[in-house]
Amino acid sequence: MMQKFGDKKSIETRVKKLRSEIQRLREAYHIQNDPSVTDDVYDSLTKELKILLEKYPELKDINAPEERVAGKALEKFEKFTHKKRMLSLNDVFGEEELYEWEKRIKKLLPANEKVEYFCEVKFDGLAVSLIYENGIFKRGATRGDGFVGEDITENLKMIHSIPLTLKGKNIPKYLEVRGEALISKKTLENLNKKNKKEGKTLFANTRNVAAGSLRQLDANLVKERKLDFFAYDIALVSEEKVFSKHSEKHHFLAEVGFLVDKNEAFCKTSEEVMSFVKKFEKKRNAFFYGTDGIVISVDSIRLQEVLGVVGKAPRYMCAYKYPAEKATTIVEDIKVNVGRTGVLTPLAFFKPTLVAGSTVSKATLHNMDQIEKLDIKIGDTVVIEKAGDVIPKVVQVLKDMRSGKEKKFLMPIKCPVCNSGVEKREMSSENASVAYYCTNQKCSAKNQRYMEHFVSVFGIYELGPKILHRFRDEGLISGPADIFLLKKEDIETLERFGEKSAVNIVREIEEKKKISLARFIWSLGILHVGEETARDLALHFKTIDKLIQAEKEELERIENVGGEVAKSIFNFFEDKTNIEFVKKLEKNGVVVLKEKNTLEKGKLSGMTFVLTGTLAKMTRPIAKEKILALGGKVAGSVSKATSYVVSGEEAGSKLDKAEKLGVKILTEEEFLKMID
């Protein structure tokens, strides 16, 4: 286990490490135009530092990197001193933090003061300031450190959405406009296609392209890369023009010729703010530009002046950040899980961390190869990723955050469950990847994991892991085949089980005794045989008896079945124990249906489906089986090759991607009509 951050010295060390890493990332992001990690990682480290400094205010330092805005001006451009400092924004993560922000600002205002808000999209680009004199564009500069930026006037003139002359009447003598220079996601995609074709480095994100382009001495590069500019504020204006609300500034900017994003909202309450935040979140993935949140401002300029600025950020504004798909956390331990095939899988346990809308406390590290590739140690600060509804994974180790007390993980030589020996085996002949296995065929962990896999494939959802464990402890079952002999009277006498639950369990077991050959093969738990391979085997052999009798050479000739998989299948059925298990299942009432080759003649032939969300009238495994039975295919992710996305309740990111790609979306009712 790593050291706990309880003593003052450890906390001071952690704060120093965080500051150092944040500064390094800041320089890479703002100055070198070569971000090594995403905004999510930067935000996660900054948030941890903020929490520590709130708890230990004596560690605050006014000269520390978190008190500065962006980076220093580059030497190759003329320096430009801003008349009014370009500020940064404080972030809020989630509804609770938004309401806390509102409470803080209201405490600083008179008790009966009415506070209203203006919401707008937070673009992922480069903040710049534009100066107009008598309606003519004179100078433009980057944020820099907030006080001094870089004069990039000539480059900004190449952006067509920046008006060189303001339109309309009543143009003020002096106007300083703040906004975001950026490129669209489509432009980034086209640029990366071009770079890939020419063998050049691909751009990491839209912000990187915008920043890199505007810091080039050749202004034509900006024109070639088709940058855009969206205005979001007026920093300074001569006396003849007066604004009373932030929203009025937006409307004026649109009138004089600036692009102002139409996704904005005037909100009377923080509840209305949250409603807008949630509404935009649904269409965020399909939005043309990169964005990670919503900027929320107190709309009244008078109240903004009362609230003022603290440090680098205004009190009257905040940035609501959407759940990050990446975050940083600390590996507190690495333990080993024993799977149904006996393979030992290392599992990382984290300090609980919010990522992509849910709290993550553990993730699989897959195998020793992955641990060595990442060079991950107990005590490391790591980047975890959880995109949409994908299982969380460790994608990077922040080695600069190491204190020297981290510990190397070693695979145990004894099974952590049954204490039997562990055997190291090569996974395939194509590469040097290896896995570690418990050598005990009767290991209780294997048996439990296998039974969980078995009932899942059969679709016996009444038998969860805890119930299976209880039935084994009570002596009702010793293996999967015994499940089909369970009777109502066996179950209802158990403590915390009644007649109703016993009836439900027995009824579902009876209903699931008939199973397709493909799912039956998958249920057997043959090493290297997953759902798709099981289907390939079923289509080829048609019956379980023919598969049992198959020679290794015949197995190798089947499409998508390689030598290692063929060897595993052949060895499985060479073991008499496994043959006896198949016969016992059949004896206990399991009916394996003969496989029909429906791929070419089914009504869904040539169609590919993706399932997302919770279906009300059938489970997703059953829906998948129906599609396959009618000749269709089921994919795990949405692409241009997807024919339909079937959307249930609480559909995730797959729905957003389908909308973006123009893939037809079916409700459950529409899907049921299609499969009749």
List, for residues 575-625, the tens digit of each pLDDT value: 888 898 899 999 999 999 887 654 456 788 888 898 888 787 777 777 887
State pLDDT tens for residues 445-471: 778 888 899 999 998 989 988 899 888
| CA quadruple 97, 101, 102, 106: dihedral sign | positive
pLDDT band at 1 (very low <50, low <70, confident <90, very high): very low
Residue 603 forms part of a structural domain: no
Residue numbers of the domain that contains 467: 444-593
pLDDT at 286 over 60: yes
Supply the mean pLDDT for the chain: 84
* Whether 175 and 99 share a structural domain: yes
Residue 390 forms part of a structural domain: yes
Which residues, 6+ apart, have CB-to-CB distance to 449 below 8 Å? 338, 339, 340
Q: Scanning the structure block, which residue is given the tokens 């395939």?
A: 428
Q: What is the CATH number of the domain that holds 57?
A: 1.10.287.610
Q: Are strands 79-81 and 117-123 parallel, antiparallel or unpaired?
A: unpaired
CA distances (Å), origin 262, targets 110, 119, 129, 231, 232: 33, 11, 21, 11, 11
State pLDDT tens for residues 255-267: 998 989 888 999 9
- Is 122 marked active-site? yes
pLDDT at 321 over 50: yes
* Whether 500 and 569 share a structural domain: yes
Average pLDDT of the residues in 205-219: 78
* Whether 529 and 507 share a structural domain: yes
Long-range contacts of 64-70 (CB under 8 A, 24+ apart): 64/19, 65/19, 65/22, 65/23, 65/26, 66/19, 66/22, 67/311, 67/312, 68/145, 68/146, 68/312, 69/143, 69/145, 69/146, 69/312, 70/26, 70/30, 70/127, 70/142, 70/143, 70/144, 70/145, 70/146
The larger pLDDT score, comparing residue 523 to residue 616, is at 523
* Whether 143 and 246 share a structural domain: yes
pLDDT at 375 over 70: yes
pLDDT at 128 over 90: yes
Q: What is the CATH number of the domain that holds 500?
A: 1.10.150.20
pLDDT at 214 over 70: yes
pLDDT at 565 over 50: yes
Q: Which of 390, 406, 435 is the last residue of a domain?
A: 435
State pLDDT tens for residues 68-111: 554 555 456 788 999 999 988 888 888 889 999 999 999 999 88
Written as one letter, the residue type at 71 is G
Three-class DSSP category at 233: strand
Q: What is the pLDDT of residue 555?
A: 92
* Whether 291 and 172 share a structural domain: yes
**C-alpha closest to that of 655 among 320, 196, 284:** 284
Average pLDDT of the residues in 50-65: 80
Which residues, 6+ apart, have CB-to-CB distance to 431 below 8 Å? none
Q: What is the pLDDT of residue 37?
A: 56
Q: How far is it, in rounded angstroms, from Cα 631 to Cα 599? A: 4
* Whether 192 and 262 share a structural domain: yes
pLDDT at 249 over 90: yes
Q: What is the pLDDT of residue 41?
A: 83
Q: How far is it, in rounded angstroms, from Cα 234 to Cα 248? A: 10
State pLDDT tens for residues 144-183: 888 888 899 888 988 888 988 898 888 999 999 999 999 8
* Whether 85 and 128 share a structural domain: yes
Cα-based torsion angle of the residue sequence 103, 107, 111, 113 in order, rounded to the nearest 10 degrees: -70
323 class by beta-carbon count within 10 Å (0-12 exposed, 13-18 middle, 19+ buried):
middle
Query: How many Cβ atoms sit within 10 Å of the Cβ of residue 433?
Result: 13
Tokens of 526: 């043959």
Q: What is the CATH number of the domain that holds 382?
A: 2.40.50.140
Tokens of 432: 């040097």
Q: How far is it, in rounded angstroms, from Cα 592 to Cα 45? A: 54
The larger pLDDT score, comparing residue 64 to residue 215, is at 215
Say which of 122, 226, 446, 657 is annotated catalytic: 122
Q: How far is it, in rounded angstroms, from Cα 121 to Cα 15? A: 32
pLDDT at 31 over 70: no
Q: What is the pLDDT of residue 432?
A: 44
Q: What is the domain count for the chain?
A: 5
* Whether 165 and 291 share a structural domain: yes
State pLDDT tens for residues 406-417: 999 999 999 887
* Whether 353 and 468 share a structural domain: no
The larger pLDDT score, comparing residue 391 to residue 657, is at 657
Half-sphere exposure of 616 (CA within 13 A, CB side): 8
Q: What is the pLDDT of residue 356?
A: 67
Q: What is the CATH number of the domain that holds 243?
A: 3.30.470.30
State pLDDT tens for residues 624-640: 878 887 888 887 778 88
* Whether 388 and 516 share a structural domain: no
* Whether 304 and 169 share a structural domain: yes
Name the DSSP letter for residue 38.
-
Q: Which residues of 119-133 are buried (b: 16+ CB within 10 A; e: fewer)?
A: bbbbbbbbbbbbbbe
Tokens of 44: 């996660």
Average pLDDT of the residues in 396-424: 89
